[in-house]
Structures are given as C-alpha cells and as structure tokens.
Amino acid sequence: MEIKFIGPLGKVTGSCTWMRDNEKGWSFLIDCGMQQGEITADQWNHQEWPFDPAEIQFIVLTHAHMDHSGLIPSLYESGFDGKVYCTEETAAIAEIQYKNSMHLSPKLFKQENIDSIKWCHFKREPLLGSYHPVDQDLFVQFLRTGHILGAVSASIFWGTPRSPEQRSIVFSGDIGPQREDYETLPTIRHFMNPGKHNYAVMESTYGSINREDMEKDPVIRRNQLKTLIDRIISTQGTLVIPAFALGRSQDILFDLHTIVADNPEQYDEVDFYYDFPLGREILDETRRFWPKTESNPKKTRLMWLGKQVFNLLGLTNIHPEHLKEAAKAMDAISLYKENSKWEGLLEGNQIAHNWKPIISRNIPSREKLASSNRPTVIVTGSGNGDAGRAAYWLPMLLTNKNNVVATTGFCGANTICGKLLSIRGLPIPDRRMNGNIIHWPNSKQSIAIAEIMANIEEIKGYSAHGDQEDLLNWVLCNAKEGYLPAGDTIFLQHGDDRNRHALRDALSSKSAALGMDVDIQLPGEESGWISLEPEGNNGEDKDLKQLLSILKQRPDLKQHIESLAK
C-alpha cells in the first residue's frame, strides 16, 4: 500500500488523498474537496486530476463540509463511477449543499452528477468502531470526531485480520473541540479515541492556536449571547447573527432556546427568526438523525447528541425515556413557534419544562422591521456577511445605533464581517470622520463607515475546529493504554505551513515528554508516493514479528522493543 497527498498541502481547504496497492488492484480516495478562499482555488477546482477518475474504485468521505466533499459530483462528471462510503448524515447534508451550490459552479457539475452519486452506508452495528469490509482483506472503520453531525475519522486496515501482517492508517478528518466530559459545542458528542495505527494523517487547521479557557466555556458563551439579547430588549433594537449553515447556526439556535427556557418571562416579547434557506433545509433534513442510538456490549447512547443537552435539561443518558426527551428537545429547534403540535418535555428540570419552539415563521421585510419597536433576533447566513441573507439585512441594520451585529467565528480580514470587526472598537465620532466605504462582493450594495452606528460584537466559542490542545488530545488520547500515539508515523496536512510547523513542534515536544518516539512528517507536493509497508523485513521471522507487535502495545517495555529490533 502507498499513499499520495494531493491536497491540502500548506493550505487549509481541498482535502484529497490517494491510496493504492498495485499488487492488490486497489485505488481509492480519502475525501475529495473544493478549495475555498485559497489563491489557487480556481486552478484546483477545475484541475485535470493526477489519476484517471474511472480507475478510482471508491471514496471514503469523512464529513460533509465542501472543502472535504465538494468535488465528488465533479469527479463523477469526469468518469468516476464508484461508491462513496460515509455516514448517512454526511450524505444527506452533502446532497443539500451540492444542490444549493450548483448554480455557483455550473462548470464543475450538473444535477445528473449529483443524482449519479452512489452513497454507501455500512450496515454492520455498531456503525462507529466496527471493521467494515470493502474488499478482500481491506476494511474501513469510522469514529466520531466531535466536529459536525455525521463527521468521522476514517481508518483503513489492509492485510489478514488479527495477523501481524495487517497494517493501518487513520485519517482524522476535522477534529472538534470535544473531549469527553469537556464538550464545548452545545449539541455534538465528544470525539472518539482513534486507537493505535501504523500511520496517522491529521489536520492542523488551528495547530498554532491555543484558545483561552473562557473561549471554551459554554456557560460564558451563552452568557455573552444573553447579554446581547438583553441589550436589544433595552433599546428595542435588532440583534443579527450571521452564521454558517452547517453546525454553527444550529448551535446558536440551541443556545437561544436554552436562554429563553431559562427565563421565559424575560424574553417573551422578543421575536426570533431564522432567515437562512440553506440552514433551514439542513435543519429540517437532519432532525431525523438526533434520535439515532449506538450500542456496544456495555451501553446504549445517542450516537451524535452530546452531554450538554442532557445536563442543561436535567436528563440522564442512561434512562430510555430521557434519550427520547433529549432528541425531542432538538426537534423543537426545527419547529416554528406557531406549530400547535408541540406538547412539551415530560422529564427533566425547569428548563426542560419551559422548553418550546421560539422561531417565528413569518420573517418581516426590511421596511417592516425598520418601523418595528419590538426587540428582534435574526440568525442568518452567511457567516462572513458577504452574501445570502446577511447581505440583505446588514446594510439596513448597520445604520441604527439600537442594533447589534454579532459575528460567531473566524472572518477573514477582507470579508464584510472581518471589516466590521476591524472598526469594532472605533467610537462613533471617529467612525463619522472615516472616509472609507465597505462594498459587498458581487453586489452593488455598499455602506460608508461613517454611517455605521450599530454595535459590532464577537461571540467566541462556536468554532467546530479543535485548537492545538484539542489536536494533541486526539492524537495522544490513548491514555488508558499509556498515551500511545494514533500512529507511529504522523503526517500533518490540512493547514497552512505556520500551523503545520507549530503543531509539529508541539507534538514533538509532548511526545518526547511522554517518552515516545514519534515520526512526524510534513508532506509536500514533492513527496510523491510514500510506501506504507515496512522496510527490510521481508525475511523477518514471523514469531519475532508477532512478538514485536505485542510489545508495541506496552510503552513501558520500549527498551525491550528497541533491543529486539536491533
């Protein structure tokens, strides 16, 4: 088996890794994503592939974000006709995104390409953790990454099962900030232990970043959001929250429902709207997945729903009725307040008893909202403010001092929200003396900074990407087995070189402190094909090879392994 890193190398988006074994006749991809916001995006997204798409047998897809999945329809357009192995959730979300983005990339793929996708979902239970065969002596294993709904890491095993000859590699996908019992995001469960492999391929998106504890505290995040709602109640203004469709906006909706259920009287006069067609479509489609359970020999749990939901509602995840109530609470987020079928939660604490849909169906026009004196909260796309319904609302709302615009994640300096954040601390008198103008891309809309009277805020804590500490916890999380690394050799990709180098240094330092000898590599375009087979051991005694395999599970016997290896 050998591997070739096609992308992203020194970049953040455009995941695609090619694996093949010429002797076995295997050739497949891990992810096939678009580049987004990169200088090379147009070249990458319209490239001539370095392989014949017709000869690729299948794709293993880690999750639905377009930088991991976005070129799959294009690959079918180019001749690929194989299966796409992924979770059911990932396929459902990806299809929605393809259909909504097709008009933006008409040269990449057509509706018939989307219809041609051969989604394949493993049937063996449990889905997460089992070894799913895709060919003779070739297996795939999925493990939750705590990133978004349906997101998994993917392990590839090849060779005779349970034999010393079997080898493996794990692809992290995107890792969330979700350690067990330290879940940051309001809904998604923690990432799962990746286990021990010969190789690990891991992302490094935030490899140089260590967030402050306050940015990881869900209570602080909700209190910050609550403070902004209280502000617009006092000013009779509007709070607009640009957010991304997948994950981010659902998390915000959950927090809004929590705030209202904690004090219904305080927020009874606030109008809440979710003005986000793509987000609404994803919300409606994914509500059926929250009740899904997974079982192992010891317990049954909801597959994706995290402990925060249970803790906030006073529920336990070991009671059958409580599992149903937690899933039902998530269902309320998808419903409109005008829905008369909501019957309420029957178990849990006072927040649970107050839990109900709060989103209003009939979204007002800009003109109607401008003349309203009711406090209003609008969650809208896009997260960076450049397009979609955010571009509809922002020009009008920014001119009113009673309003608040709150960003919820990273916004590039050249995006609308990035430019708004740059003047966040600028007093109104200084704004009025500023002669610069903010222009919306691909639009005739613009606003002079001198006209921006609204408060600009930044709510932290909604990022679905783990920081350096989270990444290290994932790759070294085998605590019960003595901090074995996820792989003897670790390839770092999916990050710019600053983040890759920073994560390499941090990983090298921490693994050394734990007494581990880890090979850390930063592949580049010049790396070409890399063999994943052991070197110089063709004549190695099988008994010794088996003994070495056993001893590698015991870090305390490292000296014995080294002496035997010599």
The answer, yes or no, to whether residue 552 has pLDDT greater than 80, is no
Which of 253, 322, 323, 320 minimizes the C-alpha distance to 284? 253
How many domains does one find in the chain? Answer: 2
With cut-offs at 50, 70 and 90, classify the pLDDT of residue 562.
low
What's the rounded Cα separation, in Å, for the pair 305 and 87?
15
What average pLDDT does the segment 231-244 reach? 97
**274 and 133 both lie in a single domain:** no
Q: Are 184 and 466 in contact (CB under 8 A)?
A: no
Q: What is the pLDDT of residue 379?
A: 97
The set of residues, in sequence order, having a beta carbon less than 8 Å from that of 417 and lying 6+ positions away, is 242, 383, 384, 385, 386, 405, 407, 411
SS3 (DSSP) at 28: strand
With cut-offs at 50, 70 and 90, classify the pLDDT of residue 541.
very low
Q: Return the H-helix or E-strand segment holding 392.
A: helix 388-397
Q: Are 303 and 294 in contact (CB under 8 A)?
A: yes
**273 and 381 both lie in a single domain:** yes
Q: How is residue 508 written in tokens?
A: 């090298």
Q: Is residue 564 part of a domain?
A: no
- The tens digit of pLDDT for each residue in 429-472 reads 999 999 999 999 988 999 999 999 999 999 999 999 999 999 99
**8 and 135 both lie in a single domain:** yes
Q: What is the pLDDT of residue 83?
A: 98
Q: What is the pLDDT of residue 296?
A: 76
Q: Is residue 523 part of a domain?
A: yes
**140 and 16 both lie in a single domain:** yes
With cut-offs at 50, 70 and 90, classify the pLDDT of residue 553.
low
Residue in the structure block whose two tokens are 């969330």 = 176
What's the rounded Cα separation, in Å, for the pair 361 and 370?
18
Q: Is residue 149 part of a domain?
A: yes
**270 and 323 both lie in a single domain:** yes
Q: Is residue 559 part of a domain?
A: no
**362 and 479 both lie in a single domain:** no
Q: Which of the 8 DSSP states describes residue 128?
A: B
Q: Are 183 and 146 in contact (CB under 8 A)?
A: yes
- The tens digit of pLDDT for each residue in 37-89 reads 899 999 999 999 999 999 999 999 999 999 999 999 999 999 999 999 999 99
The answer, yes or no, to whether residue 120 has pLDDT greater than 80, is yes
The answer, yes or no, to whether residue 290 has pLDDT greater than 90, is yes
Give 3-state DSSP helix, strand, coil % of the chain, rounded to 5.
35, 20, 45
458, 478, 503 - which closes a domain:
458
**171 and 294 both lie in a single domain:** no
435, 458, 481 - which closes a domain:
458
**329 and 434 both lie in a single domain:** yes
What's the rounded Cα separation, in Å, for the pair 221 and 12?
26
The answer, yes or no, to whether residue 540 has pLDDT greater than 50, is no
**245 and 383 both lie in a single domain:** yes
What's the rounded Cα separation, in Å, for the pair 305 and 515?
36
Q: Is residue 297 part of a domain?
A: yes
Q: Are 378 and 393 in contact (CB under 8 A)?
A: yes
Q: Is residue 162 part of a domain?
A: yes
401, 424, 458 - which closes a domain:
458
Q: What is the pLDDT of residue 391?
A: 96
Domain that holds residue 497: 2-210+464-533
What's the rounded Cα separation, in Å, for the pair 164 and 141?
18
**276 and 340 both lie in a single domain:** yes
CB count within 10 Å of CB 43 equals 10
**118 and 151 both lie in a single domain:** yes
For the chain, how far is it from start to end, CA to CA, in angstroms?
A: 25
What average pLDDT does the segment 370-375 reach? 92
With cut-offs at 50, 70 and 90, classify the pLDDT of residue 181.
confident
Query: In sequence order, what DSSP letters do the residues of 210-243 get, joined into one string?
Result: ---HHHH-HHHHHHHHHHHHHHHHHHT-EEEEE-
**340 and 266 both lie in a single domain:** yes
Sign for the CA dihedral angle at 93, 381, 259, 183 comes to positive
Lowest mean pLDDT segment, chosen from 133-137, 167-171, 419-423, 441-445: 441-445
Q: Which of the 8 DSSP states describes residue 378?
A: E
Q: Is residue 261 part of a domain?
A: yes
The CATH number covering residue 39 comes to 3.60.15.10
Q: Is residue 178 part of a domain?
A: yes
CA 281 to chain centroid: 18
What's the rounded Cα separation, in Å, for the pair 413 and 403?
22
The CATH number covering residue 239 comes to 3.40.50.10890
What totals of helices (H) and strands (E) does the chain contain, helices first? 20, 25
